[in-house]
A and B are shown apart, each in its own frame.
Chain A
Amino acid sequence: MAETGYAKPLPAISSLSQPYWDGLRRHEFSLQRCDQCANVWYPPAPLCPRCWSRKFSWTTLSGRGRINSWVVFHQAYFRGFESELPYNVAEVELDEGPRLLTNLVGIANADIRAGMPVEIVFERATEEITLAKFRPRVT
C-alpha cells in the first residue's frame, strides 16, 4: 500500500476474495451466489459449500441485516484502534443469510442490541481498500 495515514490492519486478500474487495471499492456489496441452488455464502469459497456447484455469480446484496452478536474491546491490541477504545465489533446476519464481522458506526456502544436492523456504509480505508461497515437502519 503506497498510501500512508491508515494505521489499522488491512485485509489479506486471496484470489478467492479479490472480487469481494474489488466490489467494495466500487461501492458494490457483493458475495457469491450459486447459479444452481441460489445459496449465498461467506467467506468466499472455490465452490458452493452446499451443493458443490462451481457455477456461481458475484451478486450485489441488499446491504441490510441484523445484529446477531457483538463485543466491545477495552484492551488495545492494535495501535490503529487505540484512539477508538472502547470500540465495538459486531456480527451482522445479512438478510441473504451469511454473517460477517464489522464495526457499527453511528451508534453508542451502550445502545447496541441484538436483532437491531442495520445497513451497510462504505468506508474508504486506502486507495485500494474500502470496508463494509454498518449503521442502524430506520425501519
Chain B
Amino acid sequence: MPTRELKDQTAIAGVGNSPYGRRMMRSPIDLAAEAIANALDDAGLARDDLDGMAVSFGSPIGADGDSIAPMLGLNLRAFTQTWAHGRFTASCIQWAAMVVNAGLANAVACLASISFSGIKRPKMGGSGDREGAREGGGAHGQDPVFGMTSPGAGAALVARRYFERYGANSRQLAAIPIAFRKHAVMNPIAIMRDPISADDHQKSRFVCEPLHLLDYCLINDGAACVIVTSAERARDLRKPPVYISGMQPLPAGREEFIWAYPGFGVAQQSTFDYDAGLQPVYKMADMTPSDIGALFSYDAFSILPWIALERFGFCKPGEAAAFTQNGRIELGGGLPMNTNGGLLSEGHIMGWNHQVEIVRQLRRECGPRQIKDVATIQWANAYGDSLIYRR
C-alpha cells in the first residue's frame, strides 16, 4: 500500500530566477535556462540530478517543457505541463510533490518562463483571444461576441459584483496595489519601484471599469523555478529545506468561477453566504489560519487577494475590503501579503516569483523586507487551491 501521508514529506530544495523586466528581448527558453540553473545552484544540485519537470505556462508566450528539456540537455523521466493560464502554480508543485513522494522522480524543477518581448502591443485578449472562442466560453468569462475579452474583464465583473453586494468601493481596493508597491520598493529585482498613492490609483485610467490600470498586473518577461525533492534529500543539500506541509487542489464545477468562491453569484454559481470553515489545506498541515505568518496570493488583478482572504477564512465574505486597510497586509502588519511586490509590482511570472519569495522569506534571506521570525507561509488563491510551507 502506498503511503497517503504527504505532510512534510517533500520540500523546496532550491529556488532561482532570471532577471524580470520589460522588453528584455530574450527568448523564453533562454530565461528558463537561467532560472533552472540558478535553482540547481541554490540547491547544490547538478544538472544530472534533475529527473522531473512541471511547467505551468507554455508557448507561444512561455517555454514548453518538452522544448526546454532537449535544448538544455536534460533527461527527464517525469514531465508534465498545464495549459497557458496562470492558475496552475500549486497544481505543478503538488504534482511534483506527489511524484517525488511516490518514488517516480527524485528532483523536479517546477517553473514558468514568460516573454512578451516579441509582441508588438503586449496585452491579453482582443483579436488573439482564442480562449474566448472555446466551447462554453473562456475560463475568465470571455465572450468576444459582446466584446468581453481578457482575464481582467472577468476580474472586473467580480469586482463590480463585490462592490454591489458588500458596499465596498474602488478606493478601498487601492490598498492592495499600494501595499504591494511598498514591498516592491524594498525589492531590488522588482520591476515597479516607485511608491503609489490612493490618488494615483484613482486617477489611473480605467481599463475595464471598475478596474483601473493600477489594479492590473504587469506584462513582462522573466522566469522563476523551484526544485522539489524529498524532505530527507533536502536536509542534505546546500540550503535549509522549506517543507510542503499542506496542499489543497484546484477545484472545478458550476459553483466555481476562476475569480470567485462558491456562493459569490457570478457566472453559473449559486448565490449564498459562503462559509470557509476550516479549508482542507489547514487540516493536512494541522494548522489554522491563525498559524499563518504571511500570505501570498495570485494578484493578477487587485480584487483577487480580497477573494482569496475570504475564501480561506482569514475574514468573512465582504470583510476583506476593511481587513486590508491600515497596513494589515503590509510588512510589519498582522498578515503581510506578497512581500515581493506581487504580480502587480514585482512582475508577472505566473506566481512562480511568489514561490521563490516564500522560500527566501522562510530562509530569512530577504534583507530589508524580511518578515521577522516568519516560520509558516501560505500560498492561497481566489480559485481555491493552496500550499502551506514551513521552515
- 0 or 1 for each of A69-90: is its CB under 8 Å from B? (1 = yes): 1111111111111001011010
C-alpha spacing A78/B287, complex, angstroms: 48
Question: Contacts of B148 on A, CB cut-off 8 Å?
Answer: 71, 89, 101
List residues 8-62 of chain A with CB under 8 A from any CB of chain B.
8-12, 14, 16-17, 41-43, 45, 49
Contacts of A17 in B (CB 8 A): 135
Given contacts A69-B160, A71-B153, A77-B125, contact A99 B146 (CB under 8 A): no
Q: Which of A71, A78, A103 contacts B157 (CB 8 A)?
A: A71
Binds A, one of B62-70, B86-94, B263-271: B263-271
Contacts A71-B210, A72-B209 hold; do A78 and B268 have CB atoms under 8 A apart?
no
- Nearest neighbor of A41 in chain B, beta-carbon distance: B268
**Which of B135, B164, B205, B208 interacts with A114 by CB under 8 Å?**
B164
Task: Give the docked Cα–Cα distance between A74 and B153 (Å).
Answer: 11
Which residues of B sit under 8 angstroms from A16, Cβ to Cβ?
Answer: 135
Q: How far is the CB of B268 from chain A (nearest CB, A)?
A: 6
How far, in angstroms, from A102 to B145 measured CA to CA in the complex? 9
Known: A98-B268, A99-B267. A78 touches B205 (CB 8 A): no
Q: Judge whether B364 is part of the interface by a CB distance below 8 angstroms.
A: no
A101, B148: Cα distance in complex, Å? 8
B322 within 8 A of A: no
8 Å CB contact of A12 from B133, B146, B265, B268: B133
Interface status of A119 (Cβ within 8 A of chain B) = no
A90 closest partner in B (C-beta)? B146
B145 is contacted by which of A43, A49, A84, A131 (Cβ under 8 Å)? A131
Residues of A contacting B164 in the complex (Cβ-Cβ under 8 angstroms): 69, 114
Interface size in chain A (residues, C-beta < 8 A)? 39
B147 interfacial contact with A, CB 8 Å: yes
Flag if B147 contacts A103 (CB, 8 Å).
yes
Q: Is the CB of B206 within 8 A of A72?
A: yes
CB-nearest residue of chain A to B211: A71
Residue-by-residue, is B113-134 near A (CB-CB < 8 Å gives 1, otherwise 0)? Answer: 0000000000101110100111
Nearest Cβ in chain B — how far from A131, in angstroms?
A: 7
Docked complex: A81-125 residues within 8 A CB-CB of B? 81, 84, 86-87, 89, 91, 98-99, 101-103, 114
Grouping DSSP codes into helix (H, G, I), strand (E, B) and loop, the A interface class, with mixed when no group exceeds half, is loop
Q: Which of B74-111 contact A (CB under 8 A)?
A: none
Q: A73 vs B211: C-alpha distance in the bound complex, in angstroms?
A: 10
Q: Say whether A75 contacts B208, CB under 8 Å.
A: yes
> Could you list 7 further interchain pairs (A-B, Cβ under 8 angstroms) beyond the known A77-B150, A78-B149, A86-B209?
A9-B133, A9-B147, A45-B136, A69-B157, A71-B153, A74-B209, A99-B268
Q: Which residues of B contact A (CB under 8 A)?
A: 123, 125-127, 129, 132-137, 141, 143-150, 153, 156-158, 160-161, 164, 205-210, 254, 265-268
Q: List 28 A-B contacts (CB under 8 A).
A: A9-B129, A12-B134, A14-B135, A17-B135, A43-B136, A45-B136, A68-B161, A69-B161, A69-B266, A71-B148, A73-B153, A74-B207, A75-B207, A77-B129, A77-B150, A78-B147, A84-B147, A86-B206, A89-B143, A89-B148, A89-B157, A91-B267, A101-B141, A101-B146, A103-B147, A114-B161, A114-B164, A131-B146
